């Protein structure tokens, strides 16, 4: 009996190996390029809820695990010195109770990004040998916002993806604050500030949101004069829960309302039905993603070896991107969430296709006939919100003309 079970088991196991070996051969699509936009990992809150039980954010929560360390440097987009970082400077002007700065990547957050790297390794190195197992700067391009938590998140992902094996120093590129397009840049783009600035304040005054906010402030005992909104409350609540730190018990009964109202606020702020809002939030980023694919299709000599683009960004990047893609699920993206775009070429027809996934789940983009979206259909779907850099910067400055009118 044992012999028979062993034989059946080995036959079954053999068929699994055969399936895995032939899985990529059987696919009519050949992978050509991967682009991953990912949110940073768990962090300290940007601001504590005022007047309530303080959490102790001690420096021990920020220690880097040995397996996340790599040899890396941060440069500007041309490989020169890292630009000034006014956003990071604004965090470091404050200290949270316990002694750490707001918005800092924690040990848990580092591990989350390492785990995302391991997931990508399994998919693109082990199951389908697409990437070289050792980091190769010709194959991999890494860009981050110029904020420590996203830079460190990129480093941790690369450590997980390549298991700390690298041929040379890992360069993480970043842009100066006024030109940044990896998040909605209210400070660098006057038109975006004009379009969306007042929607932030307005979002807390919408009748249903304002009523819930009043009730939660009363329950928490927070002074009515304190500036409080659901995005701030959610940020502190999720940060505490992720790190096992105490939460005011009154928030337990409000958890689902806080989640929903924070999303309601952000949806009102970005207002995807107003095309220009999303254009100015993520238009240049969408254009960058499409351009990377076009360069690959045209076999641009400088990009021939490039196989992977990594973009280390924020929840406020992913949400307008998901809205522009038409697949936002009305849920706040968790730490280390990723949007992945894969470019394929059909082995028989040589036609190109794009497949989009969000947190490892394939998405069918509105305007696409299939999950494997023909490149022309994908470009047409993106054209609604995509903006070339020169057009974006011209529109940013056009706010001055509109004010004069």
> Where in the sequence numbering do the catalytic residues fall?
40, 315
How would you write the chain as a 3-class SS string? CHHHHHHHHHHHHHHHHHHHHHHHHHCCEEEEEEEEEEECCCECCCCCCCCCCCCCCCHHHHCCCHHHCCCEEEECCCCCECCCCHHHHHHCCCCCCCCCCCCCECHHHHHHHHHHHHHHHHHHHHHCCCCCCCECCCCEEEEECCCHHHHHHHHHHHHHHHCCCECCCEEEECCCHHHCCCCCCCCCCHHHHHHHHHHHHHHCCCHHHHHHHHHHHHHHCCCCCCCCCHHHHHHHHHHHHHCCCCCCHHHHHHHHHHHHHHHHHHHHHHCCCCHHHHHHHHHHHHHHHHHHHHHHHCCCHHHCCCCEEEEEECHHHHHHHHHHHCCCCCCCCCCCCEEEEEEEEECCCCCEEEEEEECCEEECCCCCCCCCEEHHHHHHHHHCCCCCHHHHHHHHHHHHHHHHC
**Paired tokens of 194:** 């004009």
| Displacement of CA 141 from its chain's centroid (Å) | 16
**CB neighbourhood size of 221 (10 A):** 10
Q: Which residues pair with 338 in a beta bridge?
A: 38
Q: Which of 188, 169, 148, 144 is nearest to 317 (CA)?
A: 144
Terminal C-alpha separation, the chain: 88
Q: What are the structure tokens assigned to 346, written together?
A: 């059909």
């Amino acid at each position: 009996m044992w012999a028979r079970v062993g034989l059946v088991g080995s036959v079954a196991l053999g068929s699994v190996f055969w399936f895995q070996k032939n899985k990529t051969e059987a696919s009519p699509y050949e992978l050509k390029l991967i682009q991953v936009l990912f949110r940073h990992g768990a962090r300290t809150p940007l601001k504590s809820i005022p007047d309530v039980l303080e959490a102790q954010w001690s420096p021990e929560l920020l220690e880097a695990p040995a397996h996340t360390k790599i040899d890396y440097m941060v440069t500007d987009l041309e490989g020169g010195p890292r630009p000034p970082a006014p956003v990071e400077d604004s965090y470091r002007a404050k200290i949270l109770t316990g002694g750490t700065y707001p918005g800092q990547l924690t040990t848990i957050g580092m591990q989350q990004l390492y785990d995302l790297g391991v997931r990508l390794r399994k998919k693109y190195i082990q199951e389908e040998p697409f990437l070289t197992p050792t980091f190769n700067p010709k194959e991999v391009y890494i860009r981050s916002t110029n904020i420590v938590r996203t830079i460190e998140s990129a480093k941790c992902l690369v450590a997980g993806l390549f298991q700390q094996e690298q041929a040379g120093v890992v360069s993480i590129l970043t842009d100066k604050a006024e030109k940044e397009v990896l998040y909605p840049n209210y400070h660098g783009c006057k038109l975006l500030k004009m379009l969306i600035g007042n929607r932030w304040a307005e979002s807390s005054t919408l009748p249903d949101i304002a009523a819930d906010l009043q009730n939660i402030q009363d329950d928490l005992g927070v002074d009515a004069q304190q500036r409080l909104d659901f995005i701030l409350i959610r940020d502190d609540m999720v940060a505490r829960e992720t790190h096992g730190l105490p939460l005011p018990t009154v928030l337990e009964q409000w958890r689902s309302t806080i989640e929903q109202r924070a999303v309601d606020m952000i949806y009102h702020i970005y207002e995807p039905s107003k095309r220009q809002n999303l254009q100015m939030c993520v238009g240049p980023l969408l254009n960058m993603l499409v351009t990377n694919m076009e360069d690959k299709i045209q076999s641009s000599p400088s990009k021939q070896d490039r196989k992977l683009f990594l973009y280390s960004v924020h929840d406020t990047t992913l949400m307008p991107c998901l809205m522009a893609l038409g697949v936002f699920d009305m849920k706040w993206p968790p730490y280390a969430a990723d949007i992945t775009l894969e470019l394929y070429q059909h082995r028989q027809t040589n036609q190109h296709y794009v497949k989009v996934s969000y947190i490892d789940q394939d998405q069918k983009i509105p305007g696409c006939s299939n999950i494997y979206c023909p490149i022309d259909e994908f470009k047409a779907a993106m054209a609604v919100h995509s903006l070339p850099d020169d057009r974006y910067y011209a529109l940013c400055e056009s706010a001055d003309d509109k004010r004069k009118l």
